[in-house]
Amino acid sequence: MPLTHQVRPAVSTIAALAGLILVLESFQLGLGAGGHAAQARAPEFLAWSTFASIGVIGYAFVFLRTVRLVRPLSRASLVMSLVAYLAVCGVVLFALSGHGPPGGLETVRRVMPPLYAVAEVAAAPSVLTVWFVHTRLRQLDTALLRGKPGDVLVQVVSLKTELGRCLTALSFIASTGLVNTALLRKAYLTEGMKPEVFPATTVLLYGAGVTAIVTLIYVPAHLRWRDHAVALVEAVYPVPADARPTEDWADGRARLRELAGVDAPLTKTLAAAFGILAPLVTSLFGVLLPGLKAG
């Protein structure tokens, strides 16, 4: 094994730790600007800035792991998709702009936009990949009509894997963002902000909104993928004209359904459902946990 492969994990760990320290110090400098150093060093704000820094490093890792998924996109498709993604991000930020907590440290408002931007950049490859799944599924229709079920099966399995990765990435980004919101609320309350100014329902609304966004992005692509997987099975193992399936037909059809992912086991189904609902569940924990709810 080459030496570079042996030391790569250690180098990655060192880089992550160095990045975490750098981001945390940047957060502390930003929060402590303008005579707010004491507040920035308060345990609650330190906990928030530490978790936010860990989130930034996690976002960078997610981006590096998912950016390779957009390589099949042509330049024109990539540009059009990026424009659409930026438009969606603009709409979401506009919708959230009037619902943030009034008051609080002014320096917090200065560091939040860069944090939002990092999260949006990290989520971009996953969102674009899910959108591109629709185009690739249309291409599978042509391949199936040309009598190439083997190629279609390879793509069906590949698309399922990519959709799973994208859902995991989006759920991670959304969930860490909601934990950040809950920790920030706790820090504000410790500084004397009244609970009704930043109510716990705000965290729940954020969780519900983010869950809805993840659902709208992922579920249509997943349902369309499943329709194509079922169509592949039907094309390879159509129902016998005499309605008398043989044992070989039943076994082959069952194996193909399992390989294509049509008959996903309960554990994988529950994992996908949790991935979709993770932001909402996180917001509920953020409200119900004694350390984060209003005092």
| The residue to which tokens 């975490």 are assigned | 20
pLDDT at 194: 81
Stretch among 46-55, 163-172, 244-253 having the lowest mean pLDDT: 46-55
pLDDT at 269: 59
**Angstrom distance (rounded) from CA 94 to CA 100:** 11
Q: What is the mean pLDDT of residues 87-98?
A: 75
pLDDT at 294: 46
**pTM listed for this prediction:** 0.82
Stretch among 22-36, 77-91, 230-244 having the lowest mean pLDDT: 22-36
> What are 184-213's pLDDT values in tens digits?
888 888 877 788 877 888 888 888 888 888
What one-letter code names the amino acid at 294?
A
Instruction: Kindly report the three-state secondary structure assignment for every residue of the chain.
Output: CCHHHHHHHHHHHHHHHHHHHHHHHHHHHHHHCCCCHHHHCCHHHHHHHHHHHHHHHHHHHHHHHHHHHHCCCCHHHHHHHHHHHHHHHHHHHHHHHCCCCCCCCHHHHHHHHHHHHHHHHHHHHHHHHHHHHHHHHHHHHHHHHCCCHHHHHHHHHHHHHHHHHHHHHHHHHHHHHHHHHHHHHHHHHHCCCCCCCCCHHHHHHHHHHHHHHHHHHHHHHHHHHHHHHHHHHHHHCCCCCCCCCCHHHHHHHHHHHHHHCCCCCHHHHHHHHHHHHHHHHHHHHHHHCCCCCCC
**Angstrom distance (rounded) from CA 175 to CA 171:** 6
Number of Cα atoms under 13 Å in the Cβ half of residue 166? 27
Query: Measured in Å, how far apart are the chain's first and last C-alpha atoms?
Result: 56
Tokens, residue 129:
């990949």
> What are 13-33's pLDDT values in tens digits?
777 777 777 776 776 666 655
**Angstrom distance (rounded) from CA 182 to CA 47:** 11
> What are 124-142's pLDDT values in tens digits?
999 999 999 888 888 887 7
pLDDT at 102: 52
